[in-house]
Amino acid sequence: MQPSEFPFLHRLRVRWAETDPQGIVFNGHYLTYFDVAITEYWRAVGLPYPGSLERFGLDLFVVKATVEYHAPAQYDDELEVGVRVGRIGNSSLQFVLGVFRAGEHLASGEVIYVAAHPQTRRPQPVPEAMRALLRSV
């Protein structure tokens, strides 16, 4: 996996509070990195979260997240988190992610959301307009 496989890259720096006694980023924080990068992806397509989803009467709930760890990120590393939209199902959205340091592939993963009614949390179809925008980057 390479940065060039992603239409969108978000850059962030590893914080001291995110590293553990092994000197590496605690495994759970990659999901925070994914979340931050996906937030920026939504902003990039013109649908900043959460306000613009409410226009569609929708909220997003994570139903599955996976991280594969290839090499550890360390304190103060500058990382690039690549985001691309994978499969868009009837009510589900898959984001595919990659984490890189100076081009080196450190981690990869996916986060799958379901579009749902904000209160009832009942799944709702992903609107056509949203599909088009998500593919626009």
Q: Does 45 bind a second copy (CB under 8 A)?
A: no
Read off φ and ψ for residue 90, nearest 5 degrees. -60, -50
CA dist 45 → 33, 79, 87, 88, 129 (Å):
19, 22, 17, 16, 11
Can you tell me the distance from the alpha carbon of 60 to that of 115, in angstroms, rounded to the nearest whole number? 5
Among 5, 54, 62, 136, binds a second copy (CB under 8 A): 62
Residue 47 CB: number of other CB atoms within 10 A? Answer: 19
Nearer to a second copy by Cβ, of 50 and 132: the residue is 50
The residue range among 45-53, 82-90, 97-105, 125-133 that interacts with a second copy, by the rule CB under 8 A, is 45-53
Nearer to a second copy by Cβ, of 39 and 91: the residue is 39
Among 53, 56, 68, 96, binds a second copy (CB under 8 A): 68
Binding footprint of a second copy on the chain (CB under 8 A): 15-17, 19-23, 26-32, 35-36, 39, 48-50, 59, 61-69, 72, 75-76, 111
